[in-house]
Chain A
Amino acid sequence: MHRSYLFIPGNHPAMLQNADIFGADAVIFDLEDAVSITEKDSARQLMKAYFETIKKPNFSIYVRINALTSSLGAIDLNMVMNEIVEGIVLPKATVNDIKMLSKLLDTFENARRIKKKTVIIPIIETAKAVFEIGQIAQLPRVSALLLGAEDLTGDMEIERTKQGIEIEYPRAKIAFACKAFEIEAIDTPFTDVTDDEGLEKDALHAKSLGMNAKCAIHPNQLESINRTFTPSQTAIDEALRIVKADEDAQKHHRGVFSLNGKMVDKPVVDRAKKLLIKAKHFGMLGEEYEK
């Protein structure tokens, strides 16, 4: 469960060495768009040396490789595959590419005796991917879907706006697909890194559609993103009251009961329980509830 995914350019030593302090739940080291074509070799080598050096990172590590349709993607994989890498972020993902990547991962995992299954996070950034989304969300290894709104609106030849009405449909579609197949829905980055208010609004809106995490393209965006995707104290308190009231009702064999004048039934209780699981994961519950 992650709230924030921070993109860090793969060839940027100064940011690399501070990746652990920004408070990102996950970091995506980028070998694709953030690295110029002439520096791909340098970035791969740096990633490799970095992964071999860090011990026990306090965040999940992902790498965005280059698209598999170019020859670069496979070379990237060869250099960065390491036990420490949780997953691969795949740009311009299609069903076929994901299947191909999965096979490549099988090979590397066997050859390098990597015990765990490296997951795949496809970036939904083509009209075709949005169309195939139900299929993509069900593929093995796929642990989350990431909306790439810049490329997607480019593909659609529509304007990308700060309000984001143009991505309402893909956002909702990704959220539904992810919920249906129990994977994470990661929202597209907010590209104006100086507009803190705009970011907050954008993240809240994504959350309201069912997204449960958001990408950051600057560490300064993380505080707001983490806050947005962590259950608020008010919501936690309310959920605790509901669960408590439900336990009491169970004792008296009542299915439906009222709390503060509102009817509470099973869906409401289930929602409260889900919220508490999340709250616990992010350390928002006091010790007395650590059960």
Chain B
Amino acid sequence: MKIGIAGSLESNDCLVTIKDSDVLSIKVQSIVDAFYHDQIVELIQTVLEDVNMAHVDVTVIDKGALNYTIKARLLTALHRMEASHA
């Protein structure tokens, strides 16, 4: 199985884990879930669409990261997953 991990559990950061998968799965657990959960999921969907990744299992543990941080961690995790295969 391919896997990529990026980010951290420091405040304002998030830890993203991506695995290859048959179906798209996005799990987000955030300290600001009550206010931003849906927006974070939407952001992840958009990024995945942009890079054409439909078959991944994404888990995000978020410590209050802003959107650009989440996007950057997601992309790094994706690249690391790809690299782990190579």
Contacts and interface: CB of A to CB of B under 8 A. Distances in A.
Interface of A: 12-14, 16-17, 41-42, 45-46, 48-50, 52-53
Interface string B1-28: 0000011001111000000000000000
Given A14-B10, A14-B11, A17-B12, A46 B66 contact: no
5 contacts: A13-B13, A41-B79, A46-B68, A46-B69, A50-B72
The bracket for how many chain B residues form the interface is 10 to 19
Interface string B53-79: 000000000000111110111011001
A45 B75 CA distance: 7
B86 to A, nearest CB: 14
Contacts of A45: 6, 72-73, 75-76, 79
Interface of B: 6-7, 10-13, 65-69, 71-73, 75-76, 79-80
A10 B53 CA distance: 27
A49 B69 contact: yes
B79 A46 contact: no
Most buried by A among B6, B7, B67, B76: B76
A14 B12 contact: yes
